Amino acid sequence: MFNIVIIGGNLAGASAAINASIKVKNVALVERHEEPIFPVHCGEGLADVTADFLELDKIGCYKNQINNVEIDVSKMKKYTFKLRKHKMYIFDRNFLEKKLLKKAEKNGVELFTGISMRGFNPPNEIVLDNDMIKGKLIIDASGIACQVGRRIGIKTRLQPEDVGVCIQSRVEGNFKADTIKIWYHKPYAPFGYAWLFPVNKNMANIGLGIPGGQKLDLSKLLNEYISHIASSNYNIVNTFRSCVPSSLPLQNLTKDNVMFVGDAARLADAALGGGIQNAIFSGSLAGTIAADYIKGKISSLNVYQKAMEYKIDRLRKVYYRKSKLTTDEKFMKAYKRAFLILSFLDRVSPNLLENRVAKIMKKDISIFEQFQ
């Protein structure tokens, strides 16, 4: 029997495996793909605080530095924010996930890649394609599917409006390599937003994400947005669709001997759709706390729940604020007001917004470091 079994080899799962294996032996990770999927289902944006935490430079992960963020609030107003003290990067997620899985394996984690979880018999038995393994403690990092959770009675089914439906293309063209562009609401992303994240001056991730339940032709909307935002000469290299949770986080991040991280825990931001920072943080924290539990240093997994409460509370507030924006008028009024205020604050106190965001992310890291 393994001490800890992680279901999912994404950023959350790999982070959990690495940090668990630092403290205990006999850790396993199950990932249904042989290698991290490509093209990655992600815009690949990352803040500098998280990039430093992951040591992207040390492991040789490509990153494109972003210095400016341009925001269109539909056709009403455009705002430009210059990043001064802190930066954002577009990174190579596929490369990073491969490196993290290799690090986990080097730490002694047994990887079951190219193998799917077919069932779970509580409290320990995980049924794989042609095998069965057992774990004293299970970490569910299976993404929006929440594979273990739905098999132990967790309410994992989401309402259509609580699912962020995304479509993205990797596009060749001529782009401002240091500038992200975001378009809110219509005509390209009703009740959501569209984005251009430059990988370099000749390549960009261009996509859109909207709440589910809207009967829209996403391919048409994306093509129209690419035509609007890209240069006249562009080439679509590939396109993918995916879904992210845009819901309330799980009320309980543990049940019996199971812990939930990343999208399985519904830790994506309902307003912005971002989940990378929360996936890495929750996975790293869960792995460390799981190891302490196995070693007998703590008597309850509720330590993880308590450590995550401040983040859960913040995500709940974001969700409830957005859920009130049920009409075009309410949506546009709220976002127009928000960016007007942010633009004013950016002018009178240039580093205020960046420092605020960085402070939240640094708090994640400081909480994690308390358990190292």
CATH number, position 132: 3.50.50.60
On whether both 236 and 180 belong to a single domain, the answer is yes
Please, are residues 6 and 16 in contact by the beta-carbon 8 Å criterion? yes
Quote the CA–CA distance of 78 and 182 in Å, as a whole number. Answer: 10
- Beta strand pairing status for 203-211 and 189-200? antiparallel
- Average pLDDT on 359-372 reads 92
**For residue 42, is pLDDT > 90?**
no
Whether residue 111 lies inside any domain: the answer is yes
Nearest residue to 42 (alpha-carbon basis) of 87, 88, 94: 94
On whether both 235 and 133 belong to a single domain, the answer is no
86, two tokens:
């802190």
Whether residue 335 lies inside any domain: the answer is no
Whether residue 362 lies inside any domain: the answer is no
DSSP states of 301-317: THHHHHHHHHHHHHHHH
**For residue 38, is pLDDT > 80?**
no
Predicted confidence band at 32 (pLDDT cuts at 50, 70, 90)?
very high
Predicted pLDDT at 153: 94
The stretches of the chain forming alpha helices (DSSP H) are 11-23, 48-54, 56-59, 93-106, 218-229, 276-294, 302-323, 328-348, 352-369
Predicted pLDDT at 352: 84
Quote the CA–CA distance of 223 and 22 in Å, as a whole number. Answer: 46
Whether residue 329 lies inside any domain: the answer is no
pLDDT in tens, 46-59: 999 999 999 999 99
On whether both 85 and 218 belong to a single domain, the answer is yes
Quote the CA–CA distance of 311 and 102 in Å, as a whole number. Answer: 29
On whether both 70 and 216 belong to a single domain, the answer is yes
Quote the CA–CA distance of 61 and 64 in Å, as a whole number. Answer: 10
Q: Decide which of 191, 213, 246 is a domain's last residue.
A: 246
Say how many CA atoms lie within 13 Å of 78 toward its Cβ: 8
Q: Decide which of 246, 268, 301 is a domain's last residue.
A: 246
- Average pLDDT on 320-341 reads 92
Predicted pLDDT at 372: 85
On whether both 167 and 238 belong to a single domain, the answer is yes
Predicted pLDDT at 139: 98
Whether residue 334 lies inside any domain: the answer is no
On whether both 59 and 191 belong to a single domain, the answer is yes
Lowest mean pLDDT among 243-252, 308-317, 353-362: 353-362
- Beta strand pairing status for 179-185 and 235-245? unpaired
DSSP states of 17-81: HHHHHHH-S-EEEEESSSS--SS-SS--EEEHHHHHHHTHHHHT--EEEE-EEEEEETTTEEEEE
pLDDT in tens, 150-206: 999 999 999 999 999 999 999 999 999 999 999 999 999 999 999 999 999 999 999
Whether residue 340 lies inside any domain: the answer is no
Domain that holds residue 278: 2-44+92-158+247-323
Quote the CA–CA distance of 18 and 27 in Å, as a whole number. Answer: 9
331-362 b/e with 16+ CB inside 10 Å = b? bbeebbeebeeeeeebeeeeeebbeeebeebe
Q: Decide which of 246, 263, 287 is a domain's last residue.
A: 246
In whole numbers, what is the pLDDT of the chain averaged over residues? 94
By three-state DSSP, how is residue 111 classified?
A: strand
pLDDT in tens, 80-89: 999 998 999 9
Quote the CA–CA distance of 137 and 150 in Å, as a whole number. Answer: 16
Query: How many percent of the chain have pLDDT more than 90?
Result: 85
By three-state DSSP, how is residue 158 classified?
A: coil
Placement of tokens 């809207």 in the chain: 214
On whether both 13 and 133 belong to a single domain, the answer is yes
C-alpha 349 chain-centroid distance: 29
On whether both 229 and 267 belong to a single domain, the answer is no
pLDDT in tens, 2-20: 999 999 999 999 999 999 9
**For residue 21, is pLDDT > 80?**
yes
pLDDT in tens, 62-119: 999 999 999 998 777 889 999 998 999 999 999 999 999 999 999 999 999 999 999 9
To 10 degrees, what angle do helices 302-323 and 276-294 make?
A: 160
Report the CATH number at residue 198: 3.30.9.10
On whether both 83 and 118 belong to a single domain, the answer is no
Say how many CA atoms lie within 13 Å of 67 toward its Cβ: 5
Domain count, the chain: 2
On whether both 216 and 283 belong to a single domain, the answer is no
Whether residue 369 lies inside any domain: the answer is no
- Average pLDDT on 216-220 reads 96
On whether both 168 and 294 belong to a single domain, the answer is no
Whether residue 342 lies inside any domain: the answer is no
pLDDT in tens, 119-138: 999 999 999 998 999 999 99
On whether both 173 and 143 belong to a single domain, the answer is no
67, two tokens:
């210095």
Quote the CA–CA distance of 66 and 354 in Å, as a whole number. Answer: 13
